[in-house]
């Protein structure tokens, strides 16, 4: 594959390194001379000095034959414009943009960027997974479906401890797919499976019913009814 | 005394329109001043608080420190019910991105974007943005001036 990377900072550097090792043809476009020199010294003649948003630079880079175009500068606006120029002027089929402000994900999608990677959102998700007090952890959003896969630990105090899965009043389009007990043994539950304190529950639910699901799993006994 | 109406704003708009301007440089400040004196409701954004020093002392509009490519900032300045958005920061890409957010996320009816790079200007005009390239416009004006007969230029003494 011929892959163009705009931005030769840390992300661009290591991305290029890995992609070259994987046997791809890679070109990094970077404005700063010092960064270009470092890439050339370490990774070889795979760097073009210039502005990855400029038509002239992208022309020189042979963007028209790129299989993949990745923009990983530190500025969301530059990543957006680089991908839009690649897509609309050079008909690159697949564009990937790094975004720093997670809120920009929606606008990038709307404006035709195929894939966005939000570094902030990734770090946040990892922090949330590490926090034991967080009752409901989003594991994965299924793109375009409005569905997500979440994980939650059933606390000792939960009102559903001892109940059967089939008895739970789950939100619409919500399904508990795996129950992992305290010993770490996963089971695919049926309606007779009993919920035990400390169980990790993995469920598919609609993004908007996340709060309802959280309430069902974590409401303490005395607060029920 | 009613405010003086200039050509552009005399026609399609009602008496007062809400305009958000991103970038308080020479052009942004000048436009904000003109619109403010016409009686329009002007909000001007800049990431640098010192930039507002370019506005005249009698400027009645709002000046807000913030980044116009941040949707939260645009929300805060009430872009959702603005009649027009103008992007005139020194960065083409910032202007392009903010204008697209204004147009596609906030549905602002009139969005105008300054793009210095003529190639990018053509591209984004093709993608439906209303764009102005000072590079091309000024070059065109300069060429016109060069082609004009020297006699047409005002003379110091008859």
pLDDT digits (tens, 9 = 90+) for B105-157: 999 999 999 999 998 999 999 999 999 999 999 999 999 999 988 865 565 55
pLDDT at A189: 92
Percent of chain B residues past pLDDT 90, beyond the cut: 82
pLDDT band at A71 (very low <50, low <70, confident <90, very high): very high
Averaged confidence pLDDT in chain B: 89
User: Three-state SS across chain A?
Assistant: CEEEEECCCHHHHHHHHHHHHCCCEEEEEECCHHHHHHHHHHHCCCEEECCCCCHHHHHHCCHHHCCEEEECCCCHHHHHHHHHHHHHHHCCCCEEEEECCCCHHHHHHHCCCCEEEEHHHHHHHHHHHHCCCCCEEEEEEECCCCEEEEEEECCCCECCCCCEHHHCCCCCCCEEEEEECCCCCEECCCCCCECCCCCEEEEEEEHHHHHHHHHHHHCEHHHCC
pLDDT at A137: 75
Where are the alpha helices (H) located in A22-115, listed in sequence order?
33-43, 55-60, 76-90, 104-110
Tell me what the mean pLDDT of segment B13-32 comes to: 90
Tell me what the mean pLDDT of segment A144-168 comes to: 87
pLDDT at A182: 85
Please tell me which of the candidates B98, B100, B120 has its beta carbon nearest to residue A111: B100
Strands A2-6 and A175-180, bridge-based pairing: unpaired
| Higher local confidence (pLDDT), A131 or B80 | B80
Q: How far is A85 from chain B (nearest CA, A)?
A: 8
pLDDT at A114: 86
Q: Which residue, among A27, A56, A57, A21, has the nearest Cα to A39 in the 3D structure?
A: A27
Q: What is the ipTM of this complex?
A: 0.80
| Higher local confidence (pLDDT), A214 or B133 | B133
Q: Is the pLDDT of residue B85 over 50?
A: yes
Q: Does B127 touch chain A (CB under 8 A)?
A: yes
Q: Which residue, among A10, A51, A8, A9, has the nearest Cα to A26 in the 3D structure?
A: A8
CB atoms A80 and B92 under 8 Å = no
Q: Is the pLDDT of residue B1 over 80?
A: no
CB atoms A107 and B96 under 8 Å = no
In whole angstroms, what is the distance from residue A106 CA to residue A108 CA? 6
pLDDT band at A146 (very low <50, low <70, confident <90, very high): confident
Q: Is the pLDDT of residue B10 over 70?
A: no
CATH code of B13-149, in short, is 3.40.50.720
pLDDT tens per residue, range A89-131: 999 999 999 998 888 888 898 888 988 898 887 877 776 666 6
Best probe of the A interface among B101, B118, B124, B125, by most A CBs < 10 A, is B101
CB atoms A81 and B96 under 8 Å = yes
The structural domains of chain A, ordered by start, are: 2-123 (3.40.50.720), 132-223 (3.30.70.1450)
Q: Does B117 touch chain A (CB under 8 A)?
A: yes
Q: CB of B42 within 8 A of CB of B35?
A: yes
Instruction: For residue B127, list chain A residues with Cβ-Cβ distance below 8 A.
Output: 84, 88
Q: Does B69 touch chain A (CB under 8 A)?
A: yes
Tell me what the mean pLDDT of segment B53-69 comes to: 95
pLDDT tens per residue, range A195-210: 998 888 999 999 888 8
Averaged confidence pLDDT in chain A: 88
| Higher local confidence (pLDDT), A139 or B38 | B38
pLDDT tens per residue, range A26-61: 999 999 999 999 999 999 999 999 999 998 899 999
pLDDT at B158: 46
pLDDT at A107: 86
């Amino acid at each position: 594959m011929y892959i163009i990377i705009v931005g030769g900072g840390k992300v661009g550097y290591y991305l290029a390194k890995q992609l070259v090792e994987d046997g791809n043809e890679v070109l990094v476009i970077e404005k700063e001379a010092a960064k270009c020199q470092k890439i050339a010294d370490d990774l070889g003649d795979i760097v073009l000095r210039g502005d990855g948003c400029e038509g002239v630079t992208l022309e020189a880079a042979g963007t028209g034959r790129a299989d993949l175009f990745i923009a990983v500068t530190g500025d969301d606006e530059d990543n957006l414009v680089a991908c839009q120029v690649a897509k609309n002027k050079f008909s690159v089929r697949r564009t990937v943009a790094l975004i720093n402000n997670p809120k920009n994900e929606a606008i990038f999608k709307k404006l035709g960027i195929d894939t966005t990677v939000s570094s902030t959102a990734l770090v946040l998700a990892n922090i949330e997974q590490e926090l034991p007090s967080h009752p409901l952890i989003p594991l994965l959003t299924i793109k375009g479906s409005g569905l997500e896969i979440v994980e939650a630990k059933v606390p000792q105090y939960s009102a559903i401890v001892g109940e059967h899965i089939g008895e739970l009043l789950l939100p619409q389009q919500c399904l508990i797919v795996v129950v992992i007990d305290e010993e770490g043994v996963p089971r695919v539950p049926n309606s007779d499976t009993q919920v035990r304190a400390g169980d990790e529950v993995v469920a598919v639910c609609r993004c908007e019913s996340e709060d309802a699901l959280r309430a069902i799993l974590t409401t303490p006994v005395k607060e029920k009814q | 005394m009613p405010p003086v109406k200039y050509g552009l704003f005399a026609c399609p708009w009602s008496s007062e329109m809400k305009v958000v301007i991103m970038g308080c440089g020479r052009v942004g400040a000048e436009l904000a001043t003109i619109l403010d004196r016409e009686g329009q409701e002007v909000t001007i954004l800049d990431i640098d608080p010192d930039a507002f020093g370019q506005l005249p002392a009698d400027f009645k509009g709002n000046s807000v420190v913030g980044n116009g490519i941040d949707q939260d900032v645009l929300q805060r300045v009430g872009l959702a019910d603005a009649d027009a958005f103008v992007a005139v920061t020194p960065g083409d890409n910032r202007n392009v991105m903010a204008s697209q957010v204004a147009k596609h996320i906030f549905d602002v009816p009139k969005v105008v974007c300054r793009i210095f790079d003529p190639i990018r200007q053509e591209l984004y005009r093709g993608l439906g943005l209303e764009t102005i390239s000072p590079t091309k416009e000024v070059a065109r004006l300069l060429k016109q001036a060069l082609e004009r007969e020297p006699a047409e230029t005002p003379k110091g003494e008859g």
